Amino acid sequence: MKKLKFVLMALLVVLFISGCSNDDKKTGGNTSEENTTVADLDTVKAQFKMLGDIPIPADNPMTAEKIELGKKLYFDQRLSGDNKTSCMSCHVPSNGFGDGKAKFVGFEGAAGARNSPTVINSGYYHSNFWDGRAASLEEQAVGPIQSPVEMNQNMDALIVELNAVPEYVTSFNNVFNDSISKENIGKAIAAFERTIVVKDTAFDKYLGGDDSAITDEAKKGMELFVGKAGCSSCHIGPNLSDDSFRNTGITGDDGRFTVTKKEVDKGRFRTPTLRALTQTAPFMHDGSLATIEDVVKYYNKGGGSDPNKDPLMRPLYLTDDEVKNLVAFLESMGGEPIKVAAPKLP
């Protein structure tokens, strides 16, 4: 009898242990996610850098007077051919310095081919526009003014028009010790645009040592960003952009090819910064994705079907929870909207 009791007790112990083991399997047991240590997070965190001061070209130093002149020009509709459009028309402060549209609406209602890129942090790029055709912010600043589908203003005619405004003549002379010119117009607008910077985000506070600045979900998203999702392959460096050009699979636009004429560049577009992402919807060069979650899901499926798609574009196999965590991380880079009051124009 005693021997039977002993056997039964041993059997119960085995069943109990087996049950615990099965429960661990059902619940995932001790997953690596649950066992993520502070040291692990610190290793991931160390792969990011805080954004420093915006680069200032030696031939265009910043002054308060130049910034104010650039701001006036940015808001002035006289810079367009019909005096109805300004830089601000497509790069609106309250819309994250974009226009909130999938594709811009240009001169006299012309349908734009691409999304209006935000001005935010544009001074950190090595080149500007989606296809990188402007080598500097100064060059970018005057491009839309002369574009037939954007502001459609003849530059010589604009200089004549601005010279008829005494306050502008005086301002250009004071700022540049020079007359009104295409080069000086570009320098003034670029100086103003270099003040449009977002770098004091929740994520930056976290990088600065405030561990409570972002949520646990965002921290998990940060791990995915540099790990399973592989976002850091392109979104690296302090501005979270490799300043390169990638084809994410969206068809219908030759992109960088229009600048270089190289087959390899067909469908490639500049890697944008991820800072201020919560302010700058819709996304992608064609504005085809309405939300940050839409963007993550687009990348999760491996992007689109363009034949020249970057080999880095592949299915990520993120779970629904992982998608949410990655979105939370990207949202932590949103920052506060930049408020710019319209200047009094001369």
- Is 70 exceeded by the pLDDT of residue 6? no
pLDDT level of residue 109 (50, 70, 90 thresholds): very high
Q: How far is CA 201 from the centre of its chain?
A: 13
Q: Is the pLDDT of residue 13 over 80?
A: no
Note the pLDDT of residue 24. Answer: 38
The SS3 assignment for 183 reads helix
Task: Give the pLDDT band (50/70/90) at residue 236.
Answer: very high
**139 is an active site residue:** no
Tokens 């929870």 found at: 321
Catalytic residue among 138, 150, 223, 331: 150
Mean pLDDT, residues 55-72 taken together: 98
Q: Is the per-residue pLDDT at 113 higher than 80?
A: yes
pLDDT digits (tens, 9 = 90+) for 137-190: 999 999 999 999 999 999 999 999 999 999 999 999 999 999 999 999 999 999
Q: State the pLDDT at residue 145.
A: 98
Note the pLDDT tens digit of each residue in 267-303.
999 999 999 999 999 999 999 999 999 999 999 999 9
* Per-residue tokens: 84: 């109805």
Question: What pLDDT does residue 35 have?
Answer: 40
Q: What is the pTM of this model?
A: 0.88
Average pLDDT in the chain: 91
DSSP state of 302: T
For residue 254, the model assigns a pLDDT of: 98
Helix, strand, or coil (residue 318): coil
| Reported confidence tier of residue 38, pLDDT bands at 50, 70, 90 | low
- Contacts of range 307-315, beta carbons closer than 8 Å, 24 or more positions apart: 308/247, 308/264, 308/266, 308/267, 308/268, 309/247, 309/248, 309/249, 309/267, 310/246, 310/247, 310/248, 310/249, 310/268, 312/230, 312/233, 312/234, 312/246, 313/246, 313/247, 313/248, 313/249
Rounded Cα gap, residues 235 and 246, in angstroms = 11
* Dihedral sign (CA 131, 136, 140, 146): negative
